Amino acid sequence: MSLLRDTLAGIVPADRAAAEACRRRWDAIAKPLHSLGLLEDAVVRVAAMMGSPDVDLSRRAIVVMCADHGVVAEGVTQTGQEVTAIVTENMSKGASSVCCMARQAHAEVVPVDIGVARPVAGAHILQHNLMRGTRNMTKGPAMDREVCVRAIETGIQVAKELCGRGMTLLGTGEMGIGNTTASSAVAAVLLGTEPGTVTGRGAGLSSRGLDRKVEAIRRAIAVNRPDPADPVDVLSKVGGLDLAGLTGVFLGGAACRTPVLVDGFISAAAALCAVRLCPAAGDYLLASHVSAEPAGERMLRELGLVPLLRANMCLGEGTGTAAVMPLLDMALAVYGQMATFDEIEVEAYQPLT
């Protein structure tokens, strides 16, 4: 049995009894009912994932899948793909945006070279390169199906290894010039919508550049005819190695009953692929923020997720996941440390009818 099939078979729905026990604990805490709103909901959701109302998110890592995209040849980006390698190596040095934020969130950043166009060096980079960037998807499939499956399995392997080291929370991120083009193509196919409605300016395209980007996606879909009922087909034809790797991280986290934070639009596109492959994997997702990309909100709705943060962020790298980790810590401080109504001998609040 392949790692992908084995992982899909091993994902079970979240534990509703644990969620109910967690909610009862929240309702017993000496404060107005549900007064921490989405923060309470997030802890309840995590309890269901872990199968216990005793929630611990103290050990966390942000997995950043790094890969290049052949579609940059169509003029769909503001910068060249050499930036992918530079930022990947900066992550190994702790010098990228997500690294600065992760230090404040007490999270480990794990950069993975799954498809960077040139070799990258750094002690903290996981070396799993499968291709030196995808092919230009406007001319044919971005990668072979077999390579796509290997990329998904790489993500599964990374997630399972981190969980095996004791990580209790995973964040997701990516680095790859051109990956908003691939993500928009994946979103257009999976949502069954016109590319122009899900495609944004990415890292800062002009209006002319945006037109080129939308047109490139239309051509890629027309040339490859990806099957929306087959997420692997979609990823291999119009996706990217980073997206496939992240799909695997979501699946691997779910198989380990570990919560996985969705970052922005690109991460959400990968999450949607994971959920289409295994609906139960959706039980193990938390939305960190809503991306400023045009389809950011729609992707979260499709996943049935509500973002914890709205900050008009569109940086990527997993920065959104780092940003919400301290919020979860504060929620857990109240959940684990605050007295109950019984302990302070005060009548409990009653739910409104």
SS (H, E, C) the chain: CCHHHHHHHHCCCCCHHHHHHHHHHHHHECCCCCCCCHHHHHHHHHHHHHCCCCCCCCCEEEEEEEECCHHHHHCCCCCCCHHHHHHHHHHHCCCCHHHHHHHHHCCEEEEEEEECCCCCCCCCCEECCCCCCCCCCCCCCCCCHHHHHHHHHHHHHHHHHHHHCCCCEEEEEEECCCHHHHHHHHHHHHHCCCHHHCCCCCCCCCHHHHHHHHHHHHHHHHHHCCCCCCHHHHHHHHCCHHHHHHHHHHHHHHHCCCCEEECCHHHHHHHHHHHHHCHHHHHHEEECECCCCCCHHHHHHHHCCCCCECCCCCCCCCHHHHHHHHHHHHHHHHHHHCCEHHHHCCCCCCCCC
pLDDT digit string (tens) for 119-154?
Answer: 999 999 999 999 999 999 999 999 999 999 999 999
Q: Out of 40, 153, 293, 317, which one is annotated catalytic?
A: 317
Is residue 293 part of the annotated active site? The answer reads: no
The pLDDT score that the predictor gives to residue 353 is: 66
* This model's pTM is above 0.85: yes
The pLDDT score that the predictor gives to residue 351 is: 80
Task: Please give the mean pLDDT across all residues of the chain.
Answer: 95
pLDDT digit string (tens) for 183-235?
Answer: 999 999 999 999 999 998 877 778 887 889 999 999 999 999 999 999 999 99
Statement: residue 321 has pLDDT above 60? yes
The pLDDT score that the predictor gives to residue 146 is: 98
- Residue 99 confidence class, pLDDT cut points 50, 70, 90: very high
Query: Averaged over 294-319, what is the pLDDT?
Result: 94
- Residue 73 confidence class, pLDDT cut points 50, 70, 90: very high
